[in-house]
Each structure stands twice: as structure tokens, then as C-alpha cells.
Chains A and B, each alone.
Chain A
Amino acid sequence: MKTGNFQLDQSYAPIYEALETFRKMRVVPFDVPGHKRGRGNPELTAFLGQQCVGVDVNSMKPLDNLCHPVSVIQKAEKLAADAFGAAHAFLMVGGTTSSVQSMVLTACKRGEEIILPRNVHKSVINALVLCGAIPVYVNPEVDQRLGISLGMQREQVAKAIAEHPNAVAVLVNNPTYYGICSDLRAIVKMAHDAGMRCLVDEAHGTHFYFGNGLPVSAMAAGADMAAVSMHKSGGSLTQSSLLLVGPNIHAGYVRQIINLTQTTSGSYLLMSSLDISRRNLALRGRNVFHQVADMAEYARQEINAVGGYYAFGRELMNGNSVFDFDTTKLSVHTLDIGLAGIEVYDILRDEYDIQIEFGDIGNILAYLSMGDRAQELERLVSALAEIRRRYQKDGSGLLSQEYIEPEVVTSPQEAFYAEKISLPLEQSEGRVCSEFVMCYPPGIPILAPGERITAEILEHIQYAKEKGCSMTGPEDPEIKQLNVLV
């Protein structure tokens, strides 16, 4: 059966099929894992189920090896590459963090420059700590009303390329956590014209490969590499991910880079989930994401009808910093009912048993996916209506989230490994920070290693803490102290 626009028959799932065959063979295990199909750990088996622990097995000839795929994993990767329109696809088991890191480590070496927007995920800057590359930040435009960072403007990218002609790569979020896309095709062209690679963080964009009316995907736009969170909109298990590469990247080198940090005991639970999910997306993805987009659109209308809230959508598009909008995302601006996003997030969980993806200073994001149903959406909308009725107040005292332009003093790697001292937050102004500070989620750094600590940044950290944001990054879990360079 040939399906859709694919070259290969996407109805196969080679890893899943090999595991089914393997199960029937009743092979006696004198290898790892030591739980031996769960027999040795009955409590775990009772909790996860025999079906699950029975396929938690080790690499072996009939099941291939993730470090050097030659049979069923290789076939699964070829099917994935075909499904996503890539030259090569790598199954990843260390989360999309591992995909992002492999992408950056492939493209950059110590001392080389990489152009990227400031609202990147921390995994990107972590990769810079590992490899020693220097970040060149493009200031994303900020929507003043919503207080969120948008995409990169074409002119800003062109300026960064002109000022840093020796940079080796441009990294793009496609889309941001809020569903906002830059003009990816134009940025790919600018990067290539300047002899740079274009890397794309598609942690929130798996579905772009399978949707009608959704923003363009990295591979379709001609980008060189893309990190794709299959476990988010793709439906696979948490921690499974894909790394896609285009035709101008040497796949063998990427494999070597991946093997620097990836486990040699890749989980077959994760790999089979990637395989089955890729098949599902290829066969049914278009229909599935059409439904998700419809649900999100319905929810936007209903939430906006409640009043006070602003569930934003395609009207934000401006041809440049919001070149496109992912309509499956459901983000809601809450400041006009007098509550910070994080407060609405907490009330939804504590009082309504509704867990959403995150709340930041001004907005909440509810993650919609193939697993959602109309009745749960009604609960979310009704709960928001109730929160407004019960808690609405004057919101004029609330801060919105301003973009704070970072001053990069040293490379993230130098700052991370340099000699440092711990100072109380309020005494750290003017010093160079050696660690991250961020709200998680969304995991976008307020401070990254090597950046100057300013009064504005300290005020932002203090405010986010007061509002109950979950802050992570520094050694001191309470974020009363910061490590700074000596």
C-alpha cells in the first residue's frame, strides 16, 4: 500500500513488528535487563503491566542496535525520513534536548559563532556550554499587549548575518512555545546564501509535517537539521524524539555526534513508540491535526466569548515577526481579568483538577493534541469562566513580561567552567552570571551563563518568584543566591 505522498509504504512499523515476533519466540533471556521480562520485579510488573515490561529488552540481532542501526531500526529511520521529507532521520531516546544538542554539536565547534533568537530553549544554550560556541542573539520582537517574544524579523537576521559573517549556523524556533513562526523559508535562504547552516528547533512543531493549513516545516523549507519532539504533538512516549537532517548534512558524522552522549542501551519502549507514532502520523496525521486545529479554534471562540480573556490566533500575523501561527496552540492572555497567567494555572490545578502546560506572567498555554475530546475542552472553558466570575479584579498593578536584552560577556562554556562565587541575589547586580535562571516551563532563560546581571533582570526574577513561577537553573534551589564570575 502506497500512502499519501510518500516513497515508502508507511503502513509498516519495523521495530514494533520485530518486537511482536520476538515476543512469540519466547527467547530465554540470559542478558540484560535484569528484571527478565518483569519476573524479577513483580511490583514493577504489576504497576506497568506485563505487556510493557515484556518488551523492555536489550539490543540483539533481531532487534538491531540504536548505536549502529543495520536492520529494523535502520528501516524505521528510513520510514521516518520518508514520512517527514528528510534525507535522514535519527530515532532519539534522550528527549528533544538530545536532538537539539546533537544538532548544535554537529554544526558548531569551539569558538565558532551561532546566530539564534534569545527565546530559545535552555537545551540550546546547554549545547553551547558543551561545545564552546559563542551565541549571537537576535532580539525577537515583543508583543507589547501580550508580553511574549515573537519570531525573528528578517531584517534582524540579515543584520546579524552581516555583522557576524563568520558565524556557522542560524537557529530558528519553529514555532515558539506559543505557536509563533518566523519566516523560515526566507531565513533558510539568507543562511544558505551566507554559507551558514540553518538549524530548526521544532520541539513544538511535529504536526507541521502532517497538517493542512499549518506553518511550513523545517524540511519543507529547506533547513539543514531539525529537532522534532515526537512525544509532544506526535503522540509517542515521553523522552522519545527525532532528529531530521537534509541532504547537505553528512549522516554518518551526525551519528558519531549522537553517539558521544547517547545511551548504548536505547529503550525499545521509546523506539517502538516512535515507530508506531510515525506510522499513525503518516497514515492519519492530516485528519488528526485538522481535528485538533478545529478544537483549538472552537476553544478560542468560546474563551473569547467569556470576556476578559484573550485567546489569540492568526490575527497576530504580521508578515514578519509573526509570519505564521500554529492554530493547534491554545494560548490565553489573562492579565485583563487581573490575574497573572501563573495564578490562573495554579487555580486551574488546585481548584478545578485541570493541569495545563504552563502559565507565565501574562499568559497560559493549554496543550491540545490528538488525545483531546470535546467534553474536556468544555471543562476548561467553563473553569476559565468560573475563575473570571470568582476572582476577577483590577489588573492595573500587574507587570507584563518585557523582553530583556541580554549582554553576553563571555561564552556560556567559559562562564560555566570559570571560577565563581555565590552571592545573594540582591548583591549580584552588575556581575556576570555563571548559571541559568528560568521559569520552567517554558524553560526559556532569563539569564544564561556568561551574561551580565542587571537591576531589570533581578526585578523580573523577584516578581516571577512572588507570583509562584517554578524557577529552575541555579545551584541554589530557592534562588536566593546566584553564582557569579570572580
Chain B
Amino acid sequence: MEMWFSEFHTPDVKHSIRVNRHLYSKQSDYQRIDIFETPEFGRVLTLDGNVMLTERDEFIYDEMITHVPMAVHPGIKDILVIGAGDGGVVRELTRYDRVERIDLVEMDPQVVEACRTYLPSNACRMDDRRVHIYFENALKFIRRCEESYDLIIVDSTDPFGPSEGLFTREFYGNCYNALRKDGIMVNQQGSPFYAEDANAMQRSHMRIVSTFPISKVYQAHIPTYAAGYWLFGFASKKYHPVDDLNSEAWNALNLHTRYYTTRLHVGAFWLPAFLEEMLQEVEGK
């Protein structure tokens, strides 16, 4: 018997993973949620047929979206996490003793429930006493916040589904308003490779640039995402992601990581020529 999960990265490119068992499938109010068990990638979470994470490579994404801002801003205590119902981001953040509060706003309670059951290695810290989970629309939640957070992490799905509102100027503006004077917003910024993804990435970069005084993009290699090449946005009111990196302080914490290092931190902001061009194209507008 052969069983494969396939995802179209473009109408002409398909990425397939062999499946052992289909563990979970449910249509929630917002999306279809599936969890597969696979020989190569371990368990795989998909939303509306798009891979969100695999047990094998989630560490890359979750480390890069958390440790980069944490190593730059020494005073991060109050954090807002948007999306990330699987718990991977929360797991990384709870490793820091200085963190006092993590508000997690996830639209879909069903995602959290499924991950608690089938992806315990991600959801393992969701019951940490510092974590508060709100099942709400993120735009609505954040409209009411003013100078309340040091860090906002936007761990959304791609910009064509129910998360579309998290790639908009109004959302970034509301984030700016919700951050303290030295606050940082980090978001998953999609892939710059295939045309449609690249276009969405440019549009959201343009909106962030027009909202925050400092706005940089950094990259990571994530095998199961489109083109295996992923970007994150670093938007900030005060701290520069490289100039203000405090390597010694972060290394003194002795956190064991598998992808992130303070050396890679610096390198991740050095972008290939085609990407630099794409970003410059919209930064002028």
C-alpha cells in the first residue's frame, strides 16, 4: 500500500510526503485540520492541506522566530503570540526565566486541542503558569491593547487563508500601537521564491516598513515549506536586529538550540542579491 500527502507549492510544483497513518482529521469553524504520521518527517500538522509543521523540522522555525528577538532586546517580559496554536513558539519562550507573561491569541481552539493530543512535543509548555490562551480574532484582540507588550510574535498561516488579516497594514499598525516604546514585532514573512509567495512577501514588507522605523528581513532553511526557503520579518521601534545583538548575554543563558546560534543570527540577515532587490523595490514606495 502506498499513501502520500501532497501539497501544491504552486499550481505546477507539488511536494509529497509518504504517510503511514492519518491520525486526525477535522473541519473546524475556520479550517480543515489534519495530522499525519510519516516515516521521514514524523508527525505532520496541516491546515487546509498546507503543511504547518513537522516534528522533524519545526525546531528551525520555532527557534528562529523566538530567539532572534530574545537575543536582541534584554528587557522582554511581556509577550503577545498570535497564532501558534501548536505550542512550539510558547515552548521556546518559556525557556527564558525573565519572561513574565505570554498571551497567546489563537483563532481556532480546535488546533490547540488537536496539538495537545497528537503533538505533545510542541504543546508541552502550554500549561506553563505564565501562558494565557485567548481564543479570539487577533485583530479584535490587539485593537484594545496600547503599549502593553515588549514583543509580539506573529506566527500566522499563509496570507491567502483565514490569516489574511494578519498581513494587513491595519494589523501592523495595531501591533505598533500595542508595543512599548522599545518593542519588537517578529512575523513569519513567507517565501520569496515562487512568484505568488514573493508578491505577498513584498506587499507585507512594504506595509511593515511604512509602520515601523526599523524593519529588516531574515531567513532560514525549512525543508517542508515552499522552496525550502523561509523569511521572517523583524520590525522594531528601537533595537536594531544585528547592531543590538548581545551575543555574550544570550550565550551566558546556556540554552541548547539545534538551529539558532548567535553567529547564525548575524548571518541570517545577510540576504541573497535577488531578495535584496525585491525588498528595495518596495521600501522606496
Contacts and interface: CB of A to CB of B under 8 A. Distances in A.
B168 to A, nearest CB: 6
Nearest to B142: A382
Given A385-B174, A386-B173, A390-B173, A353 B164 contact: no
Interface of B: 137, 139-140, 142-143, 162, 164-165, 168-171, 173-174, 177
A379 interface: yes
A374 interface: yes
Nearest to B169: A352
* Minimum-distance CB pairs A-B, first 6: A383-B170, A378-B139, A386-B173, A382-B170, A382-B139, A386-B170
Contacts of A142: none
Contacts of B170: 352, 379, 382-383, 385-386
Nearest to A389: B177
A383 B173 CA distance: 9
A265 B168 CA distance: 44
A134 B92 CA distance: 76
A234 B168 CA distance: 30
B140 A302 contact: yes
A381 B169 contact: no
Chain A interface mostly helix, strand, loop or mixed?
helix
A172 B61 CA distance: 61
Size range of the chain A interface in the assembly: 10 to 19
A379 B168 contact: yes
Contacts, number: 52
B236 to A, nearest CB: 19
A382 B139 CA distance: 7
16 contacts: A352-B168, A352-B170, A353-B168, A353-B169, A375-B137, A378-B137, A379-B168, A379-B171, A382-B140, A382-B142, A382-B170, A382-B174, A383-B168, A383-B169, A385-B143, A389-B173
A375 B169 contact: no
A382 B140 CA distance: 7
Contacts of A352: 168-170
A381 B143 contact: yes
A376 B162 CA distance: 10
A383 B177 CA distance: 13
Nearest to B137: A378
Given A382-B143, A385-B143, A375 B164 contact: yes
Given A302-B140, A352-B168, A385-B170, 7 more contacts: A352-B170, A375-B162, A379-B139, A379-B171, A382-B165, A385-B143, A389-B173
A351 interface: yes
A386 B174 contact: yes
A204 B140 CA distance: 29
Contacts of B139: 375, 378-379, 381-382
B266 to A, nearest CB: 34
A375 B143 contact: no
B137 A351 contact: no
Interface in A326-379: 351-353, 374-376, 378-379
A136 B140 CA distance: 49
